[in-house]
Chains A and B, each alone.
Chain A
């Protein structure tokens, strides 16, 4: 069994809502609300869900671009270390809890500071959705790509240019592109530059925040293939955040479905598409268009909107829009449980439906 690269436990990210003259804390937007997720070494984990369900927030919290409200993130720790820390943290004995917090200060990514965090930044990188927004318009491509190298002091000044040329060629661009500004490139090329920047520190983990959704369809495929090649060549692990199901089907080994700050289903890609358990996943999959007008297919149309994440519904978060609803769904929040081998689902009634 492959080791976990990232192990997320009970991760929460709340955004405070402030109101009134004195900016008092009135409520929280629960963007990520208790997520447990394991990302295996060398895999591409797809994270799908509607707009506003917290998938990008989850990814950016892993990168420490947002600070988590609570929860633990373990990066490249053996299973036994993680279990030890978790057991201590969750035990009833106060002295054990204290001891585990001392341990967590060293190994929990949400608690890293200063040098420890800076060293971490080298290993995890991000590619953003819109390259026209993620590249500084006043910097040359050369400076954009070399920035992570310079800030991390990775190579000597003399070797910097060679490294940039090398990175450009890995993403399929020529060194004459080095001395140009981002606005001189097409969308696909800009995304390649953003990918080159993400690779500059030789990371192990790259978060893809909808890297193809701002691009033309014809370019999307090129970028996806590039990403898959890079993953193979550099032994990368991806977290691929998107709302485009066919894209994740193409690139991901496993898929996690998110709804309103929680993971509702997690399984291998093939299995998820063949045999979805959660009613929300079923509805998502039925919405994928089929390029054939003859095939009629039953579409599951969800009624209503996504509830407000400030005040999520009690019990199962999906119950107001679910047609299989029973009394217990309104009261008890379902946990992720193993439905099939490594196929997790958070639904009380997955067996029946």
Chain B
């Protein structure tokens, strides 16, 4: 009887969902690479949040406009005034990187979140109901897959009109098929399990079955891919910006900054690496951002993937 009571106490002291969460967190933090990824992304988050303090904007209404001191076309090397140097036309790199972090988060989160919502909606309908609905949705994703991603993105951005907003819209239009496919294939596995039939036998509605039984058992692979894709999406947006389809000159966006320096990748004949800072700094920051999300994505897989979990 006494032992019974103590287990009772334990059970009330720690809700099983909390226990599960703590277990996941412990697993999550076991891997040193996870810590590195977490530190990188937390660092970027802090920079994004405290951007107005780290780099006070000249015009608070338009903080994404990088201030510039002069019209000299050649970039200037790091100095006291410009700790990371300047871009052509004297745009301050440090300011661009700090406010560019906000742009990067905005692009990554907006695009991936929208993609995920569309993908979850279409994927669960296709996988759960099957039949011709499935056929139609999956053939549409096939069409999307058959067109080269970047080429299609370029064409669409040009059609809508260039700019960061268009890039976000286009990446949302093009990104959802991945999530739809992954979720559908996961659902096909779960659909045949007996607990789905048991839920049906107890009279549960389709919506309830999808929300309570299907998604909790399938959503994790979508979340894993999403966390990895945040970095990659920002990279794609930067690629489009680099091709000249992104924001206007002077807008705080890493892709735009790299694009601005296209002519200064190689320095003058007597000093080939003279302008290293204009390409290296925004590029390095971009790579670090992508790396951070990839490490987090890996960690998410370690925690959520049922094959790597204990059961």
Binding site for B on A (CB under 8 A): 60, 63, 65, 117-118, 121-122, 124-126, 128-130, 133-140, 147-148, 151-152, 174, 176, 179-181, 183, 194, 197, 200-201
B36 at the interface (CB under 8 A from A): no
Chain A CB within 8 A of B61 CB: no
Q: Which chain A residue has the least Cβ–Cβ distance from B197?
A: A65
Smallest Cβ-Cβ distance to A128: which chain B residue: B194
Complex contacts, B208 vs chain A, CB 8 Å: 151
Q: How far is the CA of A122 from the CA of B17 in the complex (A)?
A: 30
Interface pair B15/A139, CB less than 8 Å apart: no
B217 touches A118 (CB 8 A): no
Measured CA separation A121–B197 after assembly (Å)? 12
Number of A-B contacts (CB under 8 A): 76
Q: Out of A130, A135, A151, A180, name the residue touching B203 (CB < 8 Å).
A: A151
Given A65-B200, A126-B201: A136 in contact with B217 (beta carbons within 8 A): yes
Question: Is A136 in contact with B202, judged by CB distance below 8 angstroms?
Answer: no
Q: Are A130 and B7 in touch, CB under 8 angstroms?
A: no
Is B151 close to A, CB under 8 A?
no
Are B201 and A176 in contact, with the CB atoms below 8 A?
no
Asked whether A176 lies within 8 Å of B11 as measured between CB atoms, the reply is yes
Interface residues on B, range: 20 to 34
Interfacial residues of chain B within 1-44, with CB under 8 A of chain A in the complex: 4, 7-8, 11, 15-17, 20
Name the A residues within 8 Å of B198 (CB-CB): 126, 128, 134, 194, 197
Q: In the complex, A134 Cα to B205 Cα: how many Å?
A: 18
A125→B201 contact, CB < 8 A: yes
Name the B residues within 8 Å of A130 (CB-CB).
Answer: 194
- Knowing A179-B11, A201-B202, the reply to whether A139 touches B212 (Cβ < 8 A) is yes
B268 within 8 A of A: no
Contact partner, B199, options A117, A118, A147, A152, Cβ 8 Å: A147
Whole-angstrom CA separation of A306 from B213 in the bound complex? 36
Chain B residues closer than 8 Å to A129, beta-carbon distance: 194
> Given that A137-B217, A138-B217 are known contacts, is A60 also in contact with B197, CB under 8 Å in the complex?
yes
Residues of chain A contacted by B148 (CB below 8 angstroms): none
A152 and B202 form a contact (CB under 8 A): yes
B216 in the interface, Cβ–Cβ < 8 Å?
A: yes
Across the interface, do B16 and A148 meet the contact criterion of CB distance under 8 Å?
no
What are 27 contact pairs spanning A and B, CB under 8 A?
A117-B203, A118-B203, A121-B201, A121-B202, A121-B203, A125-B201, A125-B202, A126-B197, A126-B201, A129-B194, A133-B194, A134-B198, A135-B195, A136-B216, A137-B311, A139-B212, A139-B213, A140-B16, A147-B212, A151-B208, A152-B203, A176-B11, A179-B11, A194-B198, A197-B198, A197-B202, A201-B202
> What residues on B are CB-neighbors of A128 within 8 Å?
194, 197-198
B133 partner residues in chain A, CB cutoff 8 A: none
Residues of A near B216 (CB, < 8 A) are 136, 138-139
Question: Bound complex: CA of A272 vs CA of B213, how far in Å?
Answer: 42
A147 to B199, CA, bound (A): 8
Interchain CB contact under 8 A, A134 and B194: yes
Q: Determine the residue in chain A with the shortest Cβ distance to B199.
A: A147
Q: Is the CB of A176 within 8 A of B217?
A: no
Whether the pair B16, A151 counts as a contact (CB closer than 8 A) is no
Q: Is B204 an interface residue (CB 8 A)?
A: yes
For B7, give its contact among A124, A151, A176, A201 (CB under 8 Å). Answer: A176
Complex partner residue of B202 from A147, A179, A183, CB under 8 angstroms:
A147
Closest to A200 in B: B202
Q: Cβ of A121: which chain B residues have Cβ within 8 Å of it?
A: 201-203
Q: With A and B bound together, what is the CA distance between A181 and B23 in angstroms? A: 14
B193 at the interface (CB under 8 A from A): yes
- Complex Cα gap A341–B217 (Å): 52
| A128-B197, A134-B195, A138-B216 given; A176·B4 CB < 8 A | yes
> Taking the nearest CB of chain B, how far is it from the CB of A139, in angstroms?
7
List 9 other contacts, CB 8 Å, given A151-B208, A194-B198.
Answer: A63-B201, A65-B197, A65-B200, A121-B202, A126-B201, A139-B212, A176-B11, A179-B16, A181-B20
Q: A197–B217 Cα gap in the complex (Å)?
A: 20
**Residues of chain A lying within 8 A (CB to CB) of residue B195:** 133-136
Expressed in whole angstroms, the minimum distance between the Cβ of A205 and any Cβ of chain B is 12
Which residues on A sit within 8 Å (CB–CB) of B17?
140
Given contacts A139-B212, A176-B8, A179-B11, contact A133 B193 (CB under 8 A): yes
- Residues in A neighbouring B197, C-beta threshold 8 A: 60, 65, 126, 128, 134
Docked complex: B176-221 residues within 8 A CB-CB of A = 193-195, 197-205, 208, 212-213, 216-217
Nearest-Cβ distance from residue A276 to partner chain B, whole angstroms: 32
CB distance from B64 to the nearest CB of A (A): 42
Closest beta carbon of chain B to A40's beta carbon, Å: 22
Complex Cα distance A140/B16, Å? Answer: 8
Are B204 and A151 in contact, with the CB atoms below 8 A?
A: yes
Once the chains bind, are A122 and B203 in contact (CB under 8 Å)? yes
Closest 5 A/B residue pairs (Cβ): A148-B202, A134-B194, A121-B203, A128-B194, A138-B216
User: Which has the most chain B C-beta neighbours within 10 Å: A60, A148, A152, A174?
Assistant: A148
B92 to chain A: closest CB distance in Å? 50
